[in-house]
Amino acid sequence: MTTRLRFGFALMFVALLWASAAFGWSFAVCGDSRDDKNGILPRILAAVRESDMEFLLHTGDLERPGGKKSWEAFKAKTAGFPKPLHIAIGNHELYKSSREEFARFFGLQKTSYAFTYKDVRFLIVDNAGGNFADNTLEWLDKELGAHPKRKNGIARFVVAMHFPPQTDNIFPHGTRNGYRDQSMKLLKILSRHKVDLVLCSHEHMHLVDDWNGIKVIVSGGAGAPLVPFQKYGFYRIDVTDGGIREKFLPIKPAQ
């Protein structure tokens, strides 16, 4: 092999490494697929299936009205989806049912749980009751502390839930008294552990907010009725060495 050829292979190898680091990997997030009369969720599933996005995270309100029959309908809709599907519990999941039944049906140990995918630690928070219970916040704080960044390959934290926290720009409906104070407690935990991203839905709209340096994405357009001037769709989340980027991908209703 000539020196020039070796040099060419070396350049190609460096370019591949750079591309891998620069583009990283991606996943999808959506929420609020209940009352899907326009075939939005199946189209989201198809879009994710046919893409390089590696899994779908659904942030709750799967099917109306909740309970086993509704969950069976959701499982039937998603049965052919070949990639991992992670779910958070929403307020509609508590109608006619309980947290314990939800966790048992979907094979979860608890409705707040965590998992690691590649270099990201994901923490799914149960705030389906419209509040952040003290024991839930304690669990989150402890879980983040047990898997600190730059150890065991963890580079980033993503926290997902159904209700958005109350920020200067987001005022979620249907929350309990004291939700703002609870949200401030949450913010302190997220800031202390340098959480990169919060994903949520519940508001039937799409919004990206900067909450004291923490990105909050509301993605509530997976089929439920939208607020005015909003489009159905979901977000593609790209995880790179340079940070986390989002892109909204609209979905047209079935004709």
Q: Give the pLDDT confidence score for residue 192 in this predicted structure.
A: 98
- The answer to whether the beta carbons of residues 89 and 162 sit under 8 Å apart is yes
Look at residue 13 and tell me whether its pLDDT is greater than 70. no
Is 124 in a helix, a strand, or coil? strand
How would residue 9 be classed by pLDDT, with cut points 50, 70 and 90? very low
Q: Give the pLDDT confidence score for residue 251 in this predicted structure.
A: 98
User: Structural domains in the chain?
Assistant: 25-250 (3.60.21.10)
For the stretch 38-81, pLDDT in tens is: 999 999 999 999 999 999 999 999 999 989 999 999 999 999 99
Question: Chain centroid to CA 137: how far?
Answer: 18
* Cβ-count burial 172-211 (b if 16+ within 10 Å, e if not): beebeeebeebbebbbebbeebebbbbbbbbbbbbbebeb
Where residue 7 falls (left for φ over 0; alpha for ψ -120 to 50; beta otherwise) is: alpha
Look at residue 19 and tell me whether its pLDDT is greater than 60. no
Look at residue 113 and tell me whether its pLDDT is greater than 60. yes
Looking at residues 84-113, what average pLDDT do you find? 96
Q: Give the pLDDT confidence score for residue 17 in this predicted structure.
A: 42
Q: Give the pLDDT confidence score for residue 209 in this predicted structure.
A: 98
How would residue 195 be classed by pLDDT, with cut points 50, 70 and 90? very high
On average, the pLDDT of the chain sits at 92
> pTM for this one?
0.90
Quick one: which of 92, 155, 160, 97 has its CA closest to 125? 160
Q: Give the pLDDT confidence score for residue 5 in this predicted structure.
A: 42
Look at residue 106 and tell me whether its pLDDT is greater than 70. yes
For the stretch 177-189, pLDDT in tens is: 999 999 999 999 9
Q: Give the pLDDT confidence score for residue 96 in this predicted structure.
A: 87
Q: Give the pLDDT confidence score for residue 11 in this predicted structure.
A: 42
